[in-house]
C-alpha cells in the first residue's frame, strides 16, 4: 500500500450531471464562482457527407476533477508560509488557514486550477478530500453524492490495480506533479500514443 490517497473516475459512465460539484460546493459553503470540484465538458465531432449519406462522429464526455493531491505538489513547494501542506500518512494536500496569507502562489503553481481564492476571507481554499470524513472511515461527499457511482476515493495504487486506468486524458495538463488520479477514460478521451 502506497499510503497516497487519490480519486478514481469511471469517465466512460459519467453523465455530466454535476451532482458531485454541487455536493462539494454545498458542503464547503462556497460562494458564486468558487468550486473545489469542477465538471468539465468536452464535445466535438460532427457529420460528414459520404456516398451513402451522412456519418456521425459527434461525441461528448465529462471530466469531474478536484485537487489531485499530487505526489509532487507544486502548490506545497511554492507556498511561502507553509500553509499548503501534504499529510504524510495519506498524501492529502490541504491548506492550514491559520498560515494562509492569500498570496495566491498556490493558484499560480497548480496546473489543475484546484486552489480557489476567496475575496471575502482573503485566503485560498481547495479540496481536502473531506479529510474529516475519511478520518471517520467515510467517503468524500462528492463520491457519496454521485448517482452513477463513477467516483471513488482510496489508495491510488489500489485504485490503479483495481481499475487498470490511466492518469491523463485529452484536455488535461501534462502530469508533471504526479497526480493521484485514476481514470477509466471515455473512448473519445483516450490520449494518442
Q: Tell me the pLDDT tens digit for each residue of 42-98.
A: 999 898 888 888 888 899 999 999 999 999 999 999 999 999 999 999 999 999 999
Mean pLDDT, range 145-153, rounded to an integer? 97
Tens digits of residue pLDDT in 156-180: 999 999 999 998 888 888 888 999 9
Kindly give, in sequence order, each residue whose CB lies less than 8 Å from that of residue 182, ignoring residues fewer than 6 positions away: 6, 7, 8, 9, 156, 159, 160, 163, 165, 166, 167
Residue 43 burial (CB count, 10 A): 11
Q: Hey, what's the cell of 89?
A: 500518512
Question: 105-135 b/e with 16+ CB inside 10 Å = b?
Answer: bbbebbbbebbbbeeeeebbbbbbbbeebbe
Tens digits of residue pLDDT in 20-44: 999 999 999 999 889 999 999 999 9
Is there a contact between 128 and 92 (Cβ–Cβ < 8 Å)?
yes
**φ, ψ dihedrals at 57, nearest 5°:** -130, 35
The domain spans of the chain are: 5-47+57-184
CATH for 5-47+57-184, among 3.40.50.10420, 2.40.40.20, 3.90.1150.110, 3.30.70.20?
3.30.70.20
**φ, ψ dihedrals at 175, nearest 5°:** -80, 60
Judging by beta carbons within 10 Å of its beta carbon (0-12, 13-18, 19+), is residue 189 exposed, middle or buried? Answer: buried
CA 114/CA 84 separation, integer angstroms: 12
CA 114/CA 107 separation, integer angstroms: 7
Q: How confident is the model at residue 1 (pLDDT cuts 50, 70, 90)?
A: very low
CA 32/CA 103 separation, integer angstroms: 21
As a dihedral over the C-alpha atoms of residue 104, residue 105, residue 108, residue 109, rounded to 10 degrees, the angle is -140
* pTM recorded for the entire structure: 0.90
Mean pLDDT, range 136-156, rounded to an integer? 97
Q: How confident is the model at residue 193 (pLDDT cuts 50, 70, 90)?
A: low
Amino acid at each position: 500500500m502506497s499510503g497516497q490517497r487519490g480519486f478514481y473516475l469511471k469517465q466512460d459512465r459519467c453523465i455530466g450531471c454535476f451532482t458531485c460539484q454541487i455536493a462539494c460546493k454545498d458542503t464547503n459553503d462556497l460562494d458564486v464562482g468558487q468550486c473545489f470540484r469542477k465538471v468539465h465538458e468536452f464535445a466535438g465531432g460532427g457529420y460528414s457527407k459520404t456516398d451513402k449519406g451522412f456519418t456521425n462522429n459527434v461525441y461528448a464526455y465529462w471530466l469531474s476533477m478536484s485537487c489531485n493531491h499530487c505526489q509532487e505538489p507544486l502548490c506545497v513547494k511554492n507556498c511561502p508560509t507553509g500553509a499548503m501542506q501534504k499529510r504524510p500518512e495519506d498524501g492529502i494536500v490541504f491548506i492550514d488557514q491559520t498560515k494562509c496569507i492569500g498570496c495566491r502562489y498556490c493558484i499560480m503553481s497548480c496546473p489543475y486550477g484546484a486552489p480557489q481564492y476567496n475575496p471575502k476571507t482573503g485566503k485560498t481554499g481547495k479540496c481536502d478530500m473531506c479529510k474529516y470524513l475519511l478520518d471517520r472511515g467515510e467517503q468524500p461527499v462528492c463520491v457519496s453524492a454521485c448517482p452513477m457511482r463513477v467516483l471513488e476515493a482510496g489508495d491510488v495504487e489500489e485504485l490503479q490495480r483495481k481499475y487498470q486506468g490511466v492518469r491523463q486524458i485529452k484536455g488535461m495538463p501534462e502530469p508533471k506533479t504526479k497526480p493521484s488520479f485514476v481514470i477509466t477514460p471515455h473512448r473519445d478521451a483516450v490520449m494518442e500514443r
